Amino acid sequence: MFYLKYVHKTEVKTKNIWHYLTNTPSWHAWSGLAFENLCMLHISEIKHQLGISGVFSTESAWRHKGDDTMDGAQIDLLIDRSDRIINICEIKYAPESYVIDKAYYAKLQNKIASFKHFTKTRKGIFITFITPSGLLKISIPLSTSETRSS
C-alpha cells in the first residue's frame, strides 16, 4: 500500500522527500487507514492482549447515518462477545501517546449513545483504545464500565 501510494508515483527524488511526505494531510490519512487495516488483520492478537482470547466473539465495524432522533456514528471495530460484553474499539494511529481531550470525550459519549440507541443492545459496553503508542493518563472517566487500553 505504501509503495503504491507514495513511491511508485513519486517523480521527485529529493533527499528529504520522506520528511516532507510524513508531514502532509495525505500521509496522516493514509497512516490511519493502514493502521486500521493492520488491526483488522490481527484481531486474534488484540483479543489476546485484552485477555479475552478464550471468549467467543464476532468482530465487525459499525456505522449508522443517524435520523431525526439521534446523530449517526462510526465505530472502527466492535468485538461482540458471548459473555454479553461489547468492546467498542477506537483505532487511532499516532506517533506519540494519544490524548483524549474534553471535545473527543464528548464525541465518544455521543458515539456510545448512538450505538446503544440504534442497536438497542442491553450488553455491557467497554471502550477500548488501540494505538501504537498508548494513551496519556486521562482524568476523564470514560464510562461506568471497565475501561482498558491496548
Q: Using one digit for the tens of pLDDT, what is the confidence trace for 61-109?
A: 999 998 888 888 999 999 999 999 999 999 999 888 888 888 888 999 9
Residue whose C-alpha is closest to residue 37's, from 114, 74, 99, 91? 91
Task: Give all strands (DSSP E) within 20-123, no chain letters.
Answer: 57-66, 71-81, 85-91
Could you give the CA distance from residue 64 to residue 70 in angstroms, rounded to a whole number?
Answer: 10
Judged against a pLDDT cut of 50, whether residue 149 lies above it is answered with no
Q: Are 87 and 78 in contact (CB under 8 A)?
A: yes
CATH topology (fold) of 15-149? Trna Endonuclease; Chain: A, domain 1 (3.40.1350)
Q: Where are the domains of the chain?
A: 15-149
pTM of the predicted model over 0.85: no
